[in-house]
Structure 1
Amino acid sequence: MAVVEIDRAKVSYRVDGHGPGLVLVHGTGGNGESNWGHLVGRLAADWTVVRPDYAGSGATADDGQPLSVPVLAAQVVGAARAAGAAPFDLAGFSLGASIAAYIAAEYPDDVRAVVLLAGFASGADSRMQLEFGLWRDLIRTDRRAMARLVLLTGFSPDFVRELTVQQIEENIDAIVSGNQWEGMARQVALDLSLDVSEQARRINKPTLVIGCTQDQMVPTAHARALAATIPGARYAELESGHLAPLEKPDEFVRLMTDFLRAGKQ
């Protein structure tokens, strides 16, 4: 674990592997280890994999003020530069996809190619406001219920059905005890207000947008709209719930690495 200071925030990040840079940006309530750690072994032979924890997650410490996409983007880019990984390929998941889209537009000299998984350009529509508003309220009032909701809506019904009752309870316990709840609340507030539509229209890097067909958190229409907004973007889908890095890790890695390697040929 390394730390770099960026605008008075001490941003933690992990670096693994050798080769060109690949920066992985986690989602709301996650961090570089929980969202991506189990994938590093599949990637580190071909890339220098950088996994920053932006503010509100992991070991990163900041002033506790409301978050913004520009602030989190600067933290991600700063960590990648500190790791010596720029220019880099860039993959973002969920909120991390919004941040990655912003980085691709605003830091073009640092980015080679972009992969956006289960992403959204704006949280303004009524369903997203209902979803993230419920998250905000449960984080304040009933964190165990929030953990149950994450499992229920984060994975596909078939995936959850295959878990035993004991496994479900163990996962709920792990979420309740391991989550950085105050940080997640700040990230949810950003989910409710962000809009990177203008940046998405300005992305001029090779881009793959991946939607998840059984996504109950960020419905697939958001990924399709994001792909339609980005000039020349490719679009693909995974038969998965929102938490595709956990539910379909092999399929996600295959889609991402095939795309990134094709761009190098």
Structure 2
Amino acid sequence: MTTAPTSTTAPALAAFARTARGSGPGLLLVHGAGGGIEANYGPIMEGLAAAHTVVGVDFPGAGATPKSEAPLDVDELVDHLVAAADAEGLGTFAVSGYSLGGPVAIRLAARHPDRVSSLVLSATFAHADTRTDTAASIWQQLFESGQHTLLAEYVNLMALGEGVLNSLTPAQVQDAVEQIAPVIPTGTGDHVDLVRRIDVRADLAGIAVPALVVVTTADPLISPSLQRELAAALPTAEVAELPTGHLPFAERPQEWLRLISDFLARN
């Protein structure tokens, strides 16, 4: 069964918008900072839902979920994700975490090993190294100071792979900036604050489920070396390399979908 994104009515999830689509084995989606389920997974949603019951929630200040009045807490996000799976009748499920969604997915798997069947971690990290923290700090300051047009330019610079960015003319980049700036999610500053604070390195050694780490090899935001560091510390990880910047759903959606789908079909 396919349904449009809906806001849950369950009391524990009253503030979080939920998306549920497709049928089959459960697949929980966890989106990135400044994104959302539709923004980060929309281009591959139909392909994922063809073989899975796909469930995702928008973090506070993304999609239809109101902005939080308090700093985001990874364990609270995990609680909402599990409650969304419960509300959709999923006993066990795979978890796909993109960017900030990666460490959230890792914490979910560490806290609920009986529920998680496998992990897919794309363009992500277990903690922010100095380079990532610096990039996130600039991102956060531009957002919180209201410089959203400059932030959109920064996002293009830090998210697109070099080849893709250089294939665009300055006018095309400016057009993209003008489209991005007005729709930057209201929770972006909170999301990026969590990027800077989250650290799930201590959770990695205890994870026993099959895991795929998709390394985005042309990523200017989350360096491939930081992504490989995560994979090396995850005992069950297999690694796939995708020649894209930080936005596989924009640059190489079908290849990203194929990597995820093939791994889930085997696990």
The counterpart of 1:248, out of the listed 231, 249, 252, is 252
Mapped partners of 1:82, 1:171: distance in 2: 37
Equivalent residue for 1:2, pick from 3, 6, 13:
6
2:240 equivalent among 221, 236, 239: 236
CA–CA distance in structure 2, aligned partners of residues 187 and 222 of structure 1: 19
Q: 1:132 & 1:63 partners in 2: Cα distance? A: 19
Q: 1:14 aligns with which of 4, 15, 19?
A: 19
Of residues 104, 128, 148, the one that matches 1:143 is: 148
Structure 1 residue 161 displacement after superposition: 2.4
Aligned length: 261
Answer yes or no: is 1:258 the counterpart of 2:249.
no
Q: Which residue of structure 2 lines up, in the alignment, with residue 120 of structure 1?
A: 125
Q: Which runs of 5+ in 1 are unaligned?
A: none
Residue of structure 2 equivalent to 1:185: 189
CA contact (8 A) 1:114 1:208 kept: yes
2:208 equivalent among 185, 204, 214 = 204
Distance 1:226 1:9, change over 3 A: farther
CA distance in 2, matches of 1:145, 1:173: 10
Q: Could you report, residue by residue, the CA deviation over 1:116-143 in whole angstroms, capped at 9, with x for unpaired residues?
A: 00111111x2212211111111112311
Question: SS of 2:114's equivalent?
Answer: helix
Query: Which residue pairs with 1:168 in the alignment?
Result: 173
Kindly tell me: are residues 174 and 156 of structure 1, through their superposed partners in 2, closer, same or farther at Cα, counting changes over 3 Å? Answer: same
Match of 2:58 in 1: 53
Native 8 Å contact 2:78 2:108 kept in 1: yes
- Asked if the contact 2:148–2:182 (Cα under 8 Å) also holds between the matched residues in 1, the reply is no
Check whether the contact 1:9–1:61 (CA below 8 A) recurs between aligned residues: no
Deviation string for 1:47-105 (max 9, x for gaps)? 11112112231111364100111111111221122122331111000000110111111
The aligned counterpart of 1:92 is 97
Find the counterpart in structure 2 of residue 158 from structure 1.
163
Deviations 1:151-197 (A, max 9, x none): 1120111112233445423321222111223x110111111111011
Gaps of 5+ in 2: none
Displacement of 1:244 after TM fit?
1.3
Query: Is 1:37 matched up with 2:34?
Result: no
- Contact 2:123 2:246 (C-alpha < 8 Å) held by counterparts: yes
- Cα separation, partners in 2 of 1:9 and 1:67, compared to 1, 3 Å: farther
Identify if the C-alpha distance between structure 1 residues 164 and 85 changes in structure 2 by more than 3 Å, giving closer, same or farther: farther
- Amino acid in structure 2 at the alignment position of 1:251: E
Aligned 8 A contact 1:94 1:117 in 2? yes
Kindly report the root-mean-square deviation, in angstroms, between the aligned alpha carbons of the 2 structures: 1.6
TM norm structure 2: 0.92
1:201 offset after TM fit, Å?
1.8
**For residues 71 and 115 of structure 1, what CA distance do their matches in structure 2 show?**
21
| SS of residue in 1 equivalent to 2:125 | coil
The 5 A counterparts of 1:72-91 are 72-91=77-96
CA distance in 2, matches of 1:260, 1:25: 16
CA deviations 1:20-67 (Å, max 9, x no partner) are 111111100000111111111212221111121122311113641001
CA distance in 2 between partners of 1:30 and 1:63 (Å):
15
CA contact (8 A) 1:218 1:242 kept: yes
Aligned mates of 2:117, 2:83 — CA distance in 1 = 16
Q: Secondary structure at the match of 1:174?
A: helix
Per the alignment, residue 135 of structure 2 pairs with 131
Contact 2:12 2:83 in 1 (8 A): no
1:194 counterpart letter in structure 2:
I
CA contact (8 A) 2:207 2:236 kept: no
Residues 13, 80 of structure 2: 8 Å contact kept: no
- Closer, same or farther in 2 for the Cα pair 1:138/1:63, shift >3 Å? closer
